Amino acid sequence: MSLRLGDTAPNFQAKTSIGDIDFYDYIDGKWAVLYSHPADFTPVCTTELGMTAKLKEEFEKRNVKVLALSVDSVPEHLEWIKDINETQSTQVDFPIIADEDRKVAELYDMIHPNASATATVRSVFVIGPDKKVKLTLTYPASTGRNFIEILRVIDSLQLTDEYQVATPANWEDGQDVIVVPAIKTEDIPGKFPKGYTEIKPYLRTTPQPNK
């Protein structure tokens, strides 16, 4: 059964490119991005892992640990990392899980038989410090992920986790946000002292509260 938003992300132990890990111990109360790729030494995945490495400081700034996964072995991962570093002009130092027995892939429903009976699809899980699944995305093998969008979503998740707001379409960090309907209009000034705009009774905006 696939994981749904709000479910507890399952713990697991695994061999990785940086050594053996326990997932819960590794994330250690931080946010986490766990994502899978179909196979090592494949072109789209090479660019994806390279981009993840290039965004290391952005993930760290958001208190996010990143883990990648495929069903290939640690020796294959280590050889492939050399290619990634060379072709993408970066340095991969986050763990790539070697899920040869498909244990993690099955826990997280990363194998979709209609797409491939053996390889993982491009799954993405954003997991909060409470170990709850906050976001899931699934891409076909032919389409590379937009990691700037993943960072944008993390900004939204972290903001809305702390404040009673939602983020509108195409929102980016620093822009106005939406006051959730559960807050009465008369209560907005006490919660959001920067002010608000009432566009409709159900659509009230306010400057981003943590900026």
Mutual orientation of helices 74-88 and 43-54 as an angle, nearest 10°? 70
Residues serving a catalytic function are 45
Nearest CA to 145 among 25, 14, 10, 55? 55
User: CA-to-CA distance for 117 and 115, rounded, in angstroms?
Assistant: 7
Whether the CB-CB separation of 109 and 2 falls below 8 Å is answered with yes
* Residue 76 CB contacts under 8 Å (≥ 6 apart), including other chains: 40, 41, 98
